[in-house]
Structure 1
Amino acid sequence: MVLNPDSMKPIYVQIAEWLETEILNGIIERDQKVYSQYQLAEMFNINPATAAKGINLLADEQILYKKRGLGMFVAAEARDIILKKRKNTKLSGMVTDLAREAVQLKVDEEELVAMIREMHRKEKGEGS
């Protein structure tokens, strides 16, 4: 992943989202140690304090937990927390934008749902 310094999202939020994606993809598993602030700083060429802020954001959300003297680790329920969070924020926002655009384009509900179903099938690899 490459961080986008021009994004409206702060770098520390991008770091947190990257770590969340690593957890969702099974790259970093439950009870596994995550990268330290210094490792992240080196990986992404950022200030260690910025990396720490991203890690702490996930700790505040109980996605990560601290083992004194050892570092931060993935919480047992991390995956569920991330999925719920992303459904409630990212996906919800995208659906709102989609519905608003559909209304402006005069796409009726049935047509919109059919389009979503078709795209969902394609993404799952089920074809047409």
Structure 2
Amino acid sequence: MAVTLVVPKSHQTGEYAPQGENAEAIPLEAEAGDIVIWDSRILHATLENSVKRDRWALIATFCRWYIKQGFDYPRAIPESMFETLDDDEKIVYGYCSYTPLDEFDKTEHESRNRK
């Protein structure tokens, strides 16, 4: 079971996360297959990985189309890590897709198809 610490209502403060322990943090326990949803501004952290196995998480963030995504995983992941990924993991990291150039990229409009 993975444990994430969260500070309730911290997303409403408008302040940056202080470093170190936070007495207001509470544990949020999740098991494999669970879905946890929170505002990305909420203060959160993980505890030490006591099982010494990889802990995977799929993080989805919603934002406006013109806001740049956080990471370009296909260019950021070192070759040594890429070689260890199976096909499903490569799909999750975005090796089978690309970020659109603009709001017209990857869409079809009737007016664009006219001669």
More helix as a share of residues: 1
Higher relative contact order (CA 8 A, sep 6+): 2
Identify whether the pair has TM-score above 0.5, normalized to the shorter chain.
no
More strand as a share of residues: 2
User: If you compute each CA radius of gyration, which structure gives the higher value, 1 or 2?
Assistant: 2
TM-score (norm 2): 0.22
TM-score (norm 1): 0.21
